[in-house]
Chain A
Amino acid sequence: MNHPIWTNFFRRPEPQVAKIARLWGDTLLFKGISQRALLQLAKTMHPRRYAAGDTVFKQDDRGAGAALILSGQVAVRSGNTTLAELSSGDFFGEVALAVDERRTADAIACEDTELVFFLRHELEEWIEQAPREGAQLGLNLALILGNRLRKANQMLARDHSES
């Protein structure tokens, strides 16, 4: 036995932590963040399971953080329009990492899905402990939100010119 028995009660299986760290590491959000920091953060994240058809969150819910898809598929919808269909390795709800705002769309599991949540308060605590890497993650987040804004503007401009 590697660890005393009392240390094993709440220990998350290491392969899952490694998988969470690897999948987040492949995203733009964690570009430039060290593997050690990623592994430390992955240990604090929150895995959740959803059955096909379950709502992950609804538009106007208060968001606590972003979610990464470990397995399965999630549809992001606004009303009857499907904005995106996301699968393993994709993440969504990242606006809640930056601000305490309401969700801007619904997220629904299309099949049995496993997600892992990265909460805003944990990001804030991590920034206090590692300001340099925290600043890098902040820049990455700004880039992601900026890209999304640019796309939204392009869509609006296209709709405007078509009408």
Chain B
Amino acid sequence: MMNTWLERNPTLRAVGLFTALCLITALLAWLIRPLILHIVFAVSWYILLHPVTARLVHWGFTPNAAVGLVLLGLLILSVLSGALFLPLVLEQLSQLQTNLPNMLDQGQQWLDQVSQRFSQQFGLPLSVEVLSKPLVDWASGGSKNALLQVSNMALTLVSLALIVPLLAYFLLRDYRSLRNHVMQWVPNSQFELAWLIYYRVAHQLQDYVRGVLVQSGIMALITTTGFAFFGIEMAVLLGLLTGLLNIIPYLGPILAMIPPCLIVIGSGADPSLALAAIGVILFAQLVDNTVVVPAFIANVADLHPLVVILGVAIFGHFFGFIGMVLAIPALFSAKILFSGLVQGMQYRQNPV
């Protein structure tokens, strides 16, 4: 009875299957959550490097040799770029650590001045402590636990450096075979539909990841140059951070404005430099929206802005920063999967 009813309702069947697949994915994400960052990096490497290894295999290299060669090339490139930029970034990090208490004092003084002016202008008292206490608590707590945080960061970096290349190696060599074996479990009646949905999701994910990496690189380059031009301290560190935060849609660029303003105010520099820093980020956003997005990621994630903002907030709540980064690809993959399942099942039920 139940089966007959389900057979007559293809949409309901699609909803059921979609829900089951979402639950399985959520369970898997929960199980592998300690390794989610490693997997995200390894998958990004796979997406970037697979076209190169496939070309090498086509030229006659064995899969092992092709993957080994590509990863060796990447390692050499990483060591060279690390040798060039890492000392600068480490120097700026150490500068940040040394100047943090002073910056906080300066920030507190600036907030006091703002409070006094606010009171004079509007005749209303503004409690500075309400604004500054969370920040001061966070920063002083942070500096107390600095050793622990640095140790944790070093541990994460070492585990990333060890596990990501290993995962990327096996993904590049075996992912397609594994995928084909998993797809063999799909029943004959849904075999072609499953492949069509898979390819749509895979292509959009590939385009999105490549586009976002290019976008972040360009944003980091523009903002680093802009911050250095205006003489803002730690330009490279702030530029890298802006590029990284730009991965989070809508919220990222706003969040990216906070660190340069804090650095400018905290370092006792002319507060108008904070406006210059915001100007640099807005200019980078202008370039991003008019040049980079249309060229690299337009139409990839065709989602309503409200869905994006809610998705980023919810994923961020459950999975932190990495959840915010994964929100968009997860949402558009779910959208393609759902529409593909509904269409496929309806056509089977009611052919054209």
Which residues of A pack against B, CB within 8 Å?
Answer: 9-11, 36, 40, 44, 46, 48, 50, 54-65, 100, 102, 117, 119, 121, 125, 129-130
Tell whether, in the assembled complex, residue A58 and residue B348 are in contact, meaning their CB atoms are under 8 Å apart: yes
* Other-chain contact of B180, A46, A55, A57 (Cβ < 8 Å): A46
Interface string of B38-69 (1 = CB under 8 A from A): 00000000000000001101101000000000
Separation in Å of the A38 CB from the closest CB of chain B? 13
B162 at the interface (CB under 8 A from A): no
Tell whether, in the assembled complex, residue A10 and residue B178 are in contact, meaning their CB atoms are under 8 Å apart: yes
CA A117 – CA B193 in complex, angstroms? 13
Q: Which 9 A-B pairs have the closest CB atoms?
A: A10-B177, A60-B351, A64-B192, A121-B199, A129-B58, A64-B195, A60-B352, A64-B196, A10-B181
Considering residues A40, A58, A62, A129, which has the most beta carbons from chain B within 10 angstroms of its beta carbon? A62
Tell whether, in the assembled complex, residue B180 and residue A50 are in contact, meaning their CB atoms are under 8 Å apart: no
Q: Which of B168-184 contact A (CB under 8 A)?
A: 174, 176-178, 180-181, 183-184
Which residues of B pack against A, CB within 8 Å?
Answer: 54-55, 57-58, 60, 174, 176-178, 180-181, 183-184, 188-189, 191-193, 195-196, 199, 344, 347-348, 351-352
Q: A10-B174, A46-B180 are in contact. Are A56 and B199 (CB under 8 A)?
A: no
Q: Is the interface of B mostly helix, strand, loop or mixed?
A: helix
Tally of A-B Cβ pairs under 8 angstroms: 65
Q: A54-B188, A62-B347, A65-B192 are in contact. Are A130 and B177 (CB under 8 A)?
A: no
Q: In the complex, which residues of chain A have a beta carbon less than 8 angstroms from the beta carbon of B191?
A: 46, 48, 64, 117
Extra inter-chain contacts (13) besides given A11-B177, A62-B192, CB under 8 Å: A9-B174, A10-B177, A10-B178, A44-B176, A46-B183, A46-B195, A61-B193, A63-B192, A64-B193, A65-B192, A102-B347, A117-B191, A119-B195
For A49, give the chain B residue with the smallest CB separation: B188
Q: A10-B177, A62-B193, A64-B195 are in contact. Are A129 and B188 (CB under 8 A)?
A: no
Separation in Å of the B104 CB from the closest CB of chain A? 53
Tell whether, in the assembled complex, residue A46 and residue B184 are in contact, meaning their CB atoms are under 8 Å apart: yes
Q: In the complex, which residues of chain B have a beta carbon less than 8 angstroms from the beta carbon of A56?
A: 188
Tell whether, in the assembled complex, residue B58 and residue A130 are in contact, meaning their CB atoms are under 8 Å apart: yes
Separation in Å of the B316 CB from the closest CB of chain A? 33
Separation in Å of the B240 CB from the closest CB of chain A? 33
Tell whether, in the assembled complex, residue B54 and residue A62 are in contact, meaning their CB atoms are under 8 Å apart: no
CA A129 – CA B54 in complex, angstroms? 8
Separation in Å of the A21 CB from the closest CB of chain B? 16
Separation in Å of the A79 CB from the closest CB of chain B? 12
For A128, give the chain B residue with the smallest CB separation: B51
